[in-house]
Each structure stands twice: as C-alpha cells, then as structure tokens.
Amino acid sequence: MDIELQTLISRLLAHRYLDRNDKLARRALTDEGFRQALDDRLAGCGLTLLENPYSEYVAVGVKPAVEEAVFGASDAWLSNNIGLPRDGIALLVVVWALIILPKRERQIARREKEQAAQNDMFAEAKPMPVGDDVSAGIPESALYADFGEQLGGRMRFNTNLGMLSKLGFINRRNKVIYEGPMLDLLIDYSRLAPRIIEGALGDVLKQMRERPAGQATLL
C-alpha cells in the first residue's frame, strides 16, 4: 500500500489533478482503508484530497487550518491564492455560475429520473452523471457581449480567459468555454451557490433566462 500511496500523492502533486476513473484515484474513493491512509499522509503535510461526486476529477489542496501560514505572506491571499486580479476573479465567478450551476441542476435531475425509473435501492452509491452532456459550453462571444465591458474590456477579458485556462478552471475549444478539471473542485459550491442565487448575480442570470429567445446570448 505504501508505494501506491506515494505514487498517487506524487502524481497528484505533479499533474495537479487526476481523472476520478484513474485506478489509484478510484481506489481512494472506494477503498475505506486506503482512503484513510491517504488522508493521514496528506494531513501530515497540511494537505487534503479535493473531490466531490459531481466532478470528473480529484486533486489536492491546502488544509484550511494552515492557509494563513502558507498564503499569508501578503494581503493577496485574502481574495485568492492563485494570482488572479480582481477582474479575473469576477470572470471566474461568472463562468462558474454559468457552467456549474446549470450542470448541477442537470446532474440532480438526471439522477432523480434514473432512480425513479430503476427503483434501485443502491442508486445513491452510484456516481453522479458527468461529461459534456451535463456540462455545457459557453460561446466566448456571448460571454463577452453580456459581461465583457464590466470585466475590463476585450484585452483584459482575453488575458483573464487565458489565465483561467492555464490554471485549469476552463478549457477553450473553437471559441467556446468548457468546464476545466479545477472548476468544480477548487470552488466551494455550498458556500458560493447561495451567494450567487440570492445576490445580484442571481438577478442578472434570472434576467438573462427571461429574455425573449431572439435577445438571449447565454443560458
């Protein structure tokens, strides 16, 4: 087990994330003894495994108890610890809201439909639906049309998209933004979703949904 733990942790640190269907990643999610040994090994270094059933990936992050000691050398960590400027953080929140919130709705609806159809007593133990059919993309042109000017204009918009892509939050293909491996791992859904849904951005998203079809650019 020890060499497998070393291999898994080293790969997570070297590659930043792994597909949850990777052999060792899957073992960490299904083998209770292996998971406990992994958690203990990571905790000894101030780290924790980042995973949730809605994401296709797993990663490692810094434990909250040591965040200040690790990132607190300057005031920057109070807003983020990945070097994003304020307009970059704003763009990240918008992208997260437009991709992850609808994705979560589709995943939960899909799960409930499958459970109702199958009447499966073990359905809760099955992984949540993932993939492109539940995680839709956003055209870059539509995102810029709705938020570009508020997010610093064309140059800042493109620069920040590049940074989000480099950090693994998004994938860009043919001028369309898709969920990256880190988007549903590094952002706490339970904390951010209520703030968006109940806050000003929630009102903006609601207005976008209520536009006539010919006027809608997103959602």
User: Considering Cα of 104, then 110, then 113, then 119, what sign does the dihedral take?
Assistant: negative
Domain stops at, among 26, 44, 71: 71
Domain stops at, among 41, 71, 101: 71
- Do 67 and 90 share a structural domain? no
Considering 95-109, 124-138, 194-208, the range whose residues carry the highest mean pLDDT is 95-109
Please check whether residue 217 lies inside any domain of the structure: no
Please check whether residue 51 lies inside any domain of the structure: yes
- Do 101 and 17 share a structural domain? no
Residue 66 · residue 173 · CB < 8 Å: no
Residue 135 scores a pLDDT above 90 = no
Please check whether residue 180 lies inside any domain of the structure: yes
Mean pLDDT of 172-199: 89
Please check whether residue 108 lies inside any domain of the structure: yes
State the total domains in the chain. Answer: 2
Q: For residue 82, what pLDDT band results from cuts at 50, 70 and 90?
A: confident
Domain stops at, among 71, 94, 120: 71
- Do 100 and 26 share a structural domain? no
Please check whether residue 20 lies inside any domain of the structure: yes
Pairing of strands 17-19, 57-62: antiparallel
- Do 91 and 187 share a structural domain? yes
Please check whether residue 195 lies inside any domain of the structure: yes
Mean pLDDT of 162-181: 95
Q: Where are the alpha helices (DSSP H) in 72-124?
A: 86-118
- Do 100 and 39 share a structural domain? no
- Do 108 and 60 share a structural domain? no
The pLDDT tens digits for 19-52 are 999 999 999 999 999 999 999 999 999 999 999 9
- Do 184 and 116 share a structural domain? yes
- Do 62 and 93 share a structural domain? no
- Do 179 and 112 share a structural domain? yes
Please check whether residue 170 lies inside any domain of the structure: yes
- Do 115 and 202 share a structural domain? yes
Please check whether residue 95 lies inside any domain of the structure: yes
Angle, alpha carbons 11-61-131 (nearest 5°): 70
- Do 203 and 113 share a structural domain? yes
Q: Which domain holds residue 113?
A: 86-210
Q: What is the pTM of this model?
A: 0.79
Distances in Å between the Cα of 77 and the Cα atoms of 16, 83, 94, 190 are: 20, 8, 20, 21
**Looking at 57-66, 98-107, 111-120, which range is the least confident one?**
111-120
- Do 191 and 94 share a structural domain? yes
DSSP for residue 62: E
